[in-house]
Amino acid sequence: MPSIIEKDALIIGGGIAGLWMLNRLRTQGYDVLLLEKNKLGSGQTIASQGMIHGGIKYALSGNLNTASEAIADMPEQWENCLAGTGDIDLSDTNILSKHYYMWPQNSLRSRFNAFLGSKALRGKVTKVGENNYPDFFQTHIKGPLYELKDIVLDVPSLLNSLSKKHQSNIKLFNCAKEWNIEKNAEGEFKSLTLKQDDETFIVRAKQIIISSGEGSKDFLKKLIPDEKLPNEMQMQLRPLQMTIVKHKHSDPIHVHCVADQLTATPEVTITSHKCKDGDTAWYLGGELAESGANRTEEEQIKVAKNKIGELFPWCDLSNARWHSFFINRAEALTKNGKRPETASIHQYLNISLCWPSKLTLAPDLGQQIINIFQGKNIPPSNYTNSDLDNLKFPGIATPPWDSMP
Ligand SMILES: Cc1cc2nc3c(=O)[nH]c(=O)nc-3n(C[C@H](O)[C@H](O)[C@H](O)COP(=O)(O)OP(=O)(O)OC[C@H]3O[C@@H](n4cnc5c(N)ncnc54)[C@H](O)[C@@H]3O)c2cc1C
């Protein structure tokens, strides 16, 4: 006999989106099950740089546009969560840096510096006095150097904070393998049948929430016939090639290195991470990663070595280990293929397709899902289900600098 499990919501995918929504819905009393096919965060989330930004990066294109406005409230919401006073308790998440720096290297070309010092950004960007430069930059750069209010988080510890109180609601299961979906006559999601070893579970849920990143497309295919799939439920992929430099220098750097042009993408965006073996990893994103999508791994490492050598000539990296890998950003389709500016949830009957667009925008996504449940008048149920004890908790993904060859 199959076990029948009744839930208010079934979430597919345990990256930042799925985990944030699980927390918000559980706090409102909803009975929720999250299924993850791999380890938590395995897709984009564990590969992210962990920056919670307030939009200044996007203001670099010259004006404070929709992207920077949508994101402006986010750092405060995260800070409340990190202090244990927000919608979700993240008080045990490690903060890698409370500031992010912006270093326009060509300080003589002042268009950029004038913008960073402009009235529009007052209070959001501070020029750092030379005596207060972070250790890594001390005496080495002429400046100027700017401090942004952005923070950098340790993503594995964030995933741990988001999952540890809900382990019995988070289960390892590959929804693309042994499973079957049942819909009602109107096409609404009714149940998902899972087979594991000799057991069969039928999970019924009022709402199914798809937060499977790049995997969403395959899952959606099983739920909505191609001809009925609304345009706004299409996905776009933006490929990146990220680079890791592993070495023994211990001074951390968290910096956008920006060239002379005002664009939303810094030349190189660097975050620093402590590796399990005690080494430091610099994780390199920004334009280097975007243009790197068109290079081979060898070419990317060559370009990265040249760029880092040019930026930090005083830093000896002769014993460093270099590694790069490809990863896609999976997002809602935009008209021009550019980055979406907001988090979004697309509804089709009782199916929600969720795109945070950025780690930073997870609180916005969390509020949107609560609004949907309240808007549909879905009351929290008092189900007394077995919690799928035979399915395991997936565990947390390993960050790329601890899994590099
Ligand atoms: C290299 C990189 C750096 C980034 N840096 C930043 C940053 O510094 N700051 C920022 O704000 N944003 C950043 N982002 C963006 C941010 O990481 C993403 O927007 C966000 O992590 C997406 O989260 P998600 O939960 O939607 O998807 P994902 O993290 O991709 O999670 C999807 C999950 O679904 C699971 N899954 C897939 N298919 C199935 C299935 N069939 N059944 C069950 N589970 C399934 C996957 O295993 C995965 O765990 C970065 C992105 C990348 C790629």
Flag whether pLDDT at 106 surpasses 70: no
177: pLDDT confidence band, cut at 50, 70 and 90?
low
CA angle, 284 then 286 then 289, to 5° = 70
301 lies in some domain: yes
Q: Are 269 and 284 in contact (CB under 8 A)?
A: yes
Please indicate, yes or no, whether residues 304 and 352 belong to a single structural domain of this protein.
Answer: no
Q: Residue 339 is part of a domain; what is its CATH number?
A: 3.50.50.60
384: pLDDT confidence band, cut at 50, 70 and 90?
low
Please indicate, yes or no, whether residues 309 and 185 belong to a single structural domain of this protein.
Answer: no
Q: Residue 150 is part of a domain; what is its CATH number?
A: 3.30.9
Residue 374: enclosing H or E segment and its boundaries?
helix 362-375
Ligand 1 atom with the smallest distance to the CA of 16 is 25
The mean pLDDT value for 203-216 works out to: 96
Q: Is 334 exposed, middle or buried (0-12, 13-18, 19+ CB in 10 A)?
A: middle
Q: What pLDDT was estimated at residue 19? A: 98
Ranges 99-103, 157-161, 385-389: which has the least confidence: 385-389
The mean pLDDT value for 104-115 works out to: 64
The mean pLDDT value for 70-92 works out to: 93
Flag whether pLDDT at 391 surpasses 90: no
Ranges 217-226, 266-275, 376-385: which has the least confidence: 376-385
* Structure tokens belonging to residue 30: 């909803």
Flag whether pLDDT at 85 surpasses 90: yes
Ligand 1 atom with the smallest distance to the CA of 358 is 19
* Percentage of residues of the chain with pLDDT beyond 90: 67
**Residue ranges of the alpha helices (H) in 28-153?**
44-47, 56-59, 66-71, 74-82, 110-116
| Mean pLDDT across the chain | 90
* Structure tokens belonging to residue 268: 């190189």
The mean pLDDT value for 275-299 works out to: 97
Q: What pLDDT was estimated at residue 213? A: 97
Q: Which of 44, 220, 344 to mutate to test the pocket of ligand 1 (most atoms within 8 A of CB)?
A: 44
Ligand 1 atom with the smallest distance to the CA of 19 is 25
Flag whether pLDDT at 262 surpasses 70: no
The mean pLDDT value for 371-391 works out to: 84
Q: Are 208 and 12 in contact (CB under 8 A)?
A: yes
pLDDT tens digits, 43-77: 999 999 999 987 776 666 555 555 566 788 888 89
Q: What pLDDT was estimated at residue 140? A: 85
Take atom 5 of ligand 1 and give the residue whose Cα is closest.
48
Take atom 45 of ligand 1 and give the residue whose Cα is closest.
13
Flag whether pLDDT at 359 surpasses 60: yes
pLDDT tens digits, 280-291: 999 999 999 999
Q: Sheet containing 100-104: which strands, arranged edge to edge?
A: 125-127, 146-148, 100-104, 255-258, 268-274, 280-285, 235-247, 321-332
126: pLDDT confidence band, cut at 50, 70 and 90?
confident
Ligand 1 atom with the smallest distance to the CA of 174 is 42
* Percentage of residues of the chain with pLDDT beyond 70: 89
CA torsion sign for 170, 174, 178, 183 is positive
Q: Which of 152, 358, 365 to mutate to test the pocket of ligand 1 (most atoms within 8 A of CB)?
A: 358
398: pLDDT confidence band, cut at 50, 70 and 90?
very high
Ligand 1 centroid–CA 351 distance in Å is 19
Please indicate, yes or no, whether residues 146 and 168 belong to a single structural domain of this protein.
Answer: no
Take atom 52 of ligand 1 and give the residue whose Cα is closest.
48
Query: Of 308, 329, 350, which one is at a domain's C-terminal end?
Result: 329
Please indicate, yes or no, whether residues 248 and 325 belong to a single structural domain of this protein.
Answer: yes
Please indicate, yes or no, whether residues 146 and 274 belong to a single structural domain of this protein.
Answer: yes
The mean pLDDT value for 289-307 works out to: 97
Query: Of 329, 351, 369, which one is at a domain's C-terminal end?
Result: 329
Please indicate, yes or no, whether residues 169 and 150 belong to a single structural domain of this protein.
Answer: no
Please indicate, yes or no, whether residues 146 and 243 belong to a single structural domain of this protein.
Answer: yes
Q: Is the peptide bond before 379 cis (omega within 30 degrees of 0)?
A: no
Take atom 6 of ligand 1 and give the residue whose Cα is closest.
48
Ligand 1 centroid–CA 160 distance in Å is 15
Q: What pLDDT was estimated at residue 299? A: 98
CA distance 171 to 179: 14
The mean pLDDT value for 116-145 works out to: 81
87 lies in some domain: no
Flag whether pLDDT at 165 surpasses 60: yes
51 lies in some domain: no
Please indicate, yes or no, whether residues 120 and 224 belong to a single structural domain of this protein.
Answer: no
Domain that includes residue 261, residue range: 95-155+238-329
* Token pair 């969390």: residue: 366
259: pLDDT confidence band, cut at 50, 70 and 90?
confident
Q: What pLDDT was estimated at residue 59? A: 62
80 lies in some domain: no
33 lies in some domain: yes
* Structure tokens belonging to residue 389: 């004890």
Q: Which of 21, 212, 334, 401 to mutate to test the pocket of ligand 1 (most atoms within 8 A of CB)?
A: 212
Ligand 1 atom with the smallest distance to the CA of 271 is 8
Please indicate, yes or no, whether residues 163 and 148 belong to a single structural domain of this protein.
Answer: no
Which residues, 6 or more positions from 382, have their beta carbon under 8 angstroms from its beta carbon? none
Flag whether pLDDT at 159 surpasses 80: yes
54 lies in some domain: no
* Residues framing ligand 1 (Cβ under 6 A): 12-18, 35-38, 41-45, 47-51, 174-176, 211-213, 215, 219, 240, 242, 285, 327, 329, 356-360
70 lies in some domain: no
* Token pair 């559980």: residue: 26
Please indicate, yes or no, whether residues 343 and 225 belong to a single structural domain of this protein.
Answer: yes
Please indicate, yes or no, whether residues 259 and 354 belong to a single structural domain of this protein.
Answer: no
Q: Are 356 and 16 in contact (CB under 8 A)?
A: yes
66 lies in some domain: no
Please indicate, yes or no, whether residues 261 and 393 belong to a single structural domain of this protein.
Answer: no
Query: Of 296, 329, 362, which one is at a domain's C-terminal end?
Result: 329
Ligand 1 atom with the smallest distance to the CA of 331 is 19
Say how many domains are in the chain: 2
